[in-house]
Amino acid sequence: MKLALPKNLLAEQIALLERVIPSRSSNPLLTYAGLAAGPETLVLFCSNGEVDLEIRLPARVQGEGAYLVPSQPFFQLVRSLPGEEAVLSLERELELSSGRFTTRLSLAPVEGYPELLFPEPEGPSEAFPLQAHIPAGDLLRLLTQVRYAASNEEYRAIFRGVQLEFSEGGLRAVASDGYRLALSELPKPQPFAKKAVVPARSADEVVRVLKALGEGEVALALGPGTLGLAVRGEGAEVRMAVRLMEGEFPDYEKVIPKDFPLRVRLEVDPFREALRRVSVLSDRQNHRVDLLFQEGRALLSAEGDYGKGQEEVAVAMEGTPMGLAYNARYLLEALAPLEGEAFLEMSGPTSPSLVRPSGEGGYRAVVVPLRV
């Protein structure tokens, strides 16, 4: 088979494959990239066992077939091609040429490579019987807003994932490490009700693909043990299949506080900057920063081996003055998805607090104060 396409288009899109393909694997075939011919299409594919990825690019095509090419030299060569166009001839070898440059790369047959199943962008398929459509930017927001709260610990492995909850009420993403929790909602009714836990690292790959493709609509599909995505970007059509974790989160709704003796409205940027400064001197173990809310001011202070720092920030208060302490990192991470004005709502000096935007926006974070 023979394919020709603009070099820049190919060079841009291989960056997505490159992230997924492992440099080493117990199955050496996974270190290869797949190349196949479709109708007027070059199909690139790869898998790391957790994430499968397929990219379809418009190309001039003669013949048909599917081959595996050693990914590292192939990617390096594609990026350095001198001409405007890349011409690929695949038979026993890959002959890659562009301008005055010609190279021959060895190929491996696709036999033995895992079978990859992807959703169809148009609607449900046998492999992916449940399908919803959602703007790419919204899915990106849901995942990036909660990702930080996922656990890195072996303990309670389910928390190493991000839970997606499809329901009549909308689509929700949740992450927690048992000490804090973040959730983000899109209030758009979904055509089915289902929970699916995506490993946090695979969620990172989904985020990368969504960022690379820009605006558009994502077909989000569920099959047995698998989340599928199909999205059409500029010049490229991308499909993914992500292995899901088994099980689902324990009931977390009960840890989200409802009653707040104190509600503080604050400007996110100056509050965050002050918190960051004061936390420089906090204890290196628990990053403790003390907050005292009274008379329309938040007094932030911290003390550690090297000294102590303090700063005052003006806030708007509703309720009773309160003093409490947080792990500064947790509070900074909870504030990270926000800008403009936010609410910090406190259920008590040692019980969970809630962080949320002051206006619309489906983001909420639960942070537990440190015991003073």
In the complex, which residues of this chain contact its own copies (CB under 8 A)?
70, 73, 76-77, 80-82, 93-94, 100-106, 273-274, 276-278, 280-281, 305-313
Q: Are 21 and 71 in contact (CB under 8 A)?
A: yes
Burial class (CB in 10 A: 0-12, 13-18, 19+), 191: exposed
Q: How far is the CB of 144 from its own copies (least distance, A)?
A: 25
Q: Are 227 and 164 in contact (CB under 8 A)?
A: yes
Q: How far is the CB of 280 from its own copies (least distance, A)?
A: 5
In 3D space, the residue among 142, 248, 243 whose CA is nearest the CA of residue 194 turns out to be 248
In 3D space, the residue among 315, 309, 328 whose CA is nearest the CA of residue 369 turns out to be 328
| Residue 95 Ramachandran class (φ > 0 left, ψ -120 to 50 alpha, else beta) | beta
Q: Are 302 and 335 in contact (CB under 8 A)?
A: no
Which residue, 70 or 257, is less far from its own copies as judged by CB? 70
Q: How far is the CB of 254 from its own copies (least distance, A)?
A: 38
Which residue, 68 or 221, is less far from its own copies as judged by CB? 68
Q: Report residue 206 as tokens.
A: 């989904």
Q: How far is the CB of 304 from its own copies (least distance, A)?
A: 8
Amino acid at 110: V
Q: How far is the CB of 95 from its own copies (least distance, A)?
A: 9
Instruction: Give the dihedral sign, CA 306/308/313/319.
Output: positive
Phi/psi of residue 170, nearest 5 degrees: 145, -160
Which residue, 96 or 236, is less far from its own copies as judged by CB? 96
Q: Are 135 and 129 in contact (CB under 8 A)?
A: no
| Residue 356 Ramachandran class (φ > 0 left, ψ -120 to 50 alpha, else beta) | beta
Q: How far is the CB of 318 from its own copies (least distance, A)?
A: 23
Which residue, 17 or 81, is less far from its own copies as judged by CB? 81
Which residue, 72 or 125, is less far from its own copies as judged by CB? 72
What 3-state DSSP class applies to 141? helix
Which residue, 74 or 343, is less far from its own copies as judged by CB? 74
Burial class (CB in 10 A: 0-12, 13-18, 19+), 234: exposed
Amino acid at 188: K
Cα-Cα-Cα-Cα torsion 323, 325, 331, 332, nearest 10 degrees, comes to 100
Which residue, 96 or 229, is less far from its own copies as judged by CB? 96
Q: How far is the CB of 106 from its own copies (least distance, A)?
A: 5
Which residue, 10 or 51, is less far from its own copies as judged by CB? 10
**Residue 347, Cβ neighbours under 10 Å: how many?**
18
Which residue, 101 or 179, is less far from its own copies as judged by CB? 101
Q: How far is the CB of 193 from its own copies (least distance, A)?
A: 46
Q: How far is the CB of 219 from its own copies (least distance, A)?
A: 36
